[in-house]
Amino acid sequence: MSKFESFRRGEGEVPAKQQAWLIYGAGMENVGQEGKPVEIPVPKCGPDQLLARIDAAGICFSDIKIIRQGGSHPRLFGRDLQAEPMIAGHEVSCTIVRVGEELAGQYNVGDRFVVQADIYFQGKNLAFGYMLPGAFEQYVVFGDEVLRGDDGCYLIPVQPETGYAEAALSEPWACVVCAYRTDFRRTLAEGGTAWIIAGEGAEGYTLGGLTEGPGPKKMVLTGAPADLSAEVTAAAETWGAEVVCTGSLAETTVEAAQAAHAPEGFEDLILLGTVSPELIEQASAAVGRHGVMALLGPAPSRPVEIDLGRIHYDYIRYYGSAGKDVSVAYAETRHPNYEPGGKAWIAGGGGPMGQMHVQIAAQAAQGPALIVISDLDDERLELLRTRLEHVAGERGREMVLLNPQALGQEAFEARLRELAPNGFDDLHMLVPVPPMIAGMVPWMGEQGVLDIFAGIPRGSVAATDLGPIITRGIRFQGTSGSAIEDLVQALHMTETGEIDANAAVAAIGGLEAVHAGLQAVIDMLVPGKIVIYPQIQDLPLTPLRDLEDTLPEVAALLGPGGVWTRAAEKALMEKLL
């Protein structure tokens, strides 16, 4: 039996010690000790636990956020890393090498899994690679949090023939998949708290079809005309909801209403008629997680300062309609999948996650006819051209790559107008600059979807033109991370060949390459994903383009365009394990 086949079976002795990259605080100087991994014991496997070998781990920009913030990172809850260092790495492929006696028959040595990193246990977020030890080590124990968490088991089975790198990269792929699976809510939030604020000229507005759907537990009315109050009261009887009337807006404040009725934020906040931009700004802060703000009436008189970070992290949605039927604002939207035959723009598309968005656009069964990718890095754009332009062409799709810096802003904008004179149907924003995100609104076409994919923090406020939400039905959306079902779908798409997850790999390395890999991500030196093989010790960080010089037998097995393959991975491991 070959070394690789024995490895795949999970056979062999488990060592007493392992190498791990402990993080002791903020800054690269606190990653490991003097730029090297630390030797620690391999954790013991209890009777109701599993011991897993880490086979491959992707480096994510989210790992850089930990290094920059240290224990103040929100997922670490103020952890003192000097006293309790952590191990990052949440893009992981692993193999079970020890099974606790209470789990015998349920799991077997050699079983392979990926981990849904966003783990909740007893109501608390204990994310893998954050509060729980992650993948930048050689072995890890899975206990209650992973095997018996709030959502069940966070391990997703992997088929035996699936590559290690492509399995590990199903986690970032799941984050991309989530952006296309998260649909817009078309009803009032069932069991939530809704607030309707009526401004000037609010006569004649109606909930329309919303009265026939699920209902909130409480309806708060401020300044509502008599006919709307009567409609809401009648609907509330069928919902079993409480109705609270607060009089005119002059008699209350947004802060007071939120404190009294929805301390965690309103699930639905509906503004009718003419309201001031200042009120929209105040009200937007009172919308809760997964909440909707609906604007019906004249467009705001100026751009409105809104928190774009909350669209990304709290899934806040803004709806609008120029008519007087609120249900139209909720219903007039489309699924966030690419508009079939439409025009798409992926801004910042040359980065690792941007490349995944481009790949979906190029390969999707029902994809856009035009794919515009903008990036400031010519090397990354050329990599996309080499790897994906022919794929898009095979499906009759035009792929246009633009460097705004090289073109100059005036020529860049002229080219965009030439390509999409009526605006874009889909615009995925991977540039984490709030004013730039807000500046995308004028480029949106009718019923267009602006996906804020870049991880801008909460509190990232920018003056944003909300008028097109009302007049043209555009939508903002944002997603953060992924759920178990997203990871299951991403892995399924990989294992069925619907996507080539290996196409994102740009560099590889052994465990000791983690430090150099993290620095390369910080410096944006690698045009794609870096994959670490923790069971290989003496492989420095190696871009795939350099493999021919260092490992020609592995380079010979790369795919068209220099893409990483299962065969190349097998050859690498046969040689270096």
Q: Residue 79 above 80 pLDDT?
A: yes
- Judge whether 545 and 562 are in contact, CB under 8 Å: yes
Rounded CA-CA distance 289/480 in Å is 12
What per-residue confidence (pLDDT) applies to 251?
A: 75
CATH of the domain at 47: 3.90.180.10
Average pLDDT over residues 285-291: 96
- Asked if residue 245 and residue 162 are part of one domain, the reply reads no
Looking at 32-139, list the stretches that DSSP marks H as alpha helix, in order from N- to C-terminal side: 61-69
The verdict on residue 317 lying in a domain is: yes
- Please tell me the predicted confidence (pLDDT) of residue 574: 95
The band of 366, judged by pLDDT with boundaries at 50, 70 and 90, is confident
What mean pLDDT do residues 297-302 have? 96
In the prediction, which pLDDT does 415 show?
98
Share of the chain above pLDDT 70, in %: 100
Looking at residue 290, its pLDDT comes to 95
What angle do the packed helices 170-181 and 484-495 form, to 10 degrees?
110
CATH number, domain at 197? 3.40.50.720
Q: Assign 227 a pLDDT band (cuts: 50, 70, 90).
A: very high
Query: Does one domain contain both 40 and 167?
Result: yes
Q: In what order do the strands lie in the sheet with 242-245?
A: 242-245, 218-222, 193-198, 266-272, 287-296, 317-321
On whether residue 294 sits in a domain, the answer given is yes
Please answer whether residues 254 and 182 qualify as being in contact, where contact means their C-beta atoms are separated by less than 8 angstroms. no
Q: Is the pLDDT of residue 332 over 80?
A: no
Alpha carbon of 423 to those of 75, 342, 400, 449, 455: distances in Å? 38, 10, 15, 11, 24
Kindly state the average pLDDT of the residues 512-531: 95
Q: pLDDT digit string (tens) for 136-151?
A: 999 999 999 999 999 9
Given a cut of 90, whether residue 74 has pLDDT beyond it is no
Whether 303 maps to a domain, the answer reads: yes
Domain final position from 297, 331, 365:
331
- Beta-bridge mates of residue 19: 39
Are residues 305 and 352 located together in one domain of the fold? no
Residues 315 and 286 both lie in one domain: yes
Q: pLDDT at residue 200 above 80? A: yes
Tell whether 565 is covered by a domain.
Answer: no
Residues 305 and 326 in one domain: yes
Average pLDDT over residues 183-188: 91
Task: State whether 87 and 152 are in the same domain.
Answer: yes
Query: Does residue 436 fall inside a structural domain?
Result: no
Q: What pLDDT band is residue 66 in, cutting at 50, 70 and 90?
A: very high
Mean local confidence (pLDDT), 186-205: 96
Average pLDDT of the residues in 74-102: 96
The number of folded domains in the chain is 3
Shared domain for 227 and 149, answered yes or no, is no
Q: What is the pLDDT of residue 250?
A: 73
What is the reported pLDDT for 336?
A: 84
Q: Are 24 and 110 part of one and the same domain?
A: yes
Average pLDDT of the chain, as a whole number: 95
Decide if 569 is inside a domain: no
Any domain includes 186: no
Whole-angstrom distance, CA of residue 148 vs CA of residue 119: 10
**Whether residues 160 and 207 fall in one domain:** no
- Considering the domain architecture, whether residues 215 and 257 belong to the same structural domain is answered as yes
pLDDT per residue as tens digits for the range 497-506:
988 999 999 9
Q: What are phi and psi of 362, to 5 degrees?
A: -75, -35
The two tokens of residue 398 are 């035009």
Distance CA 275, CA 222 (A): 13
One domain, residues 173 and 198: no
Domain that holds residue 107: 3-178+485-544
Asked, for residue 557, whether it belongs to a domain, the answer is: no
Are 164 and 277 found together in one domain?
A: no
pLDDT band per the 50, 70, 90 thresholds, residue 421: very high
The predicted structure's pLDDT at residue 467: 97
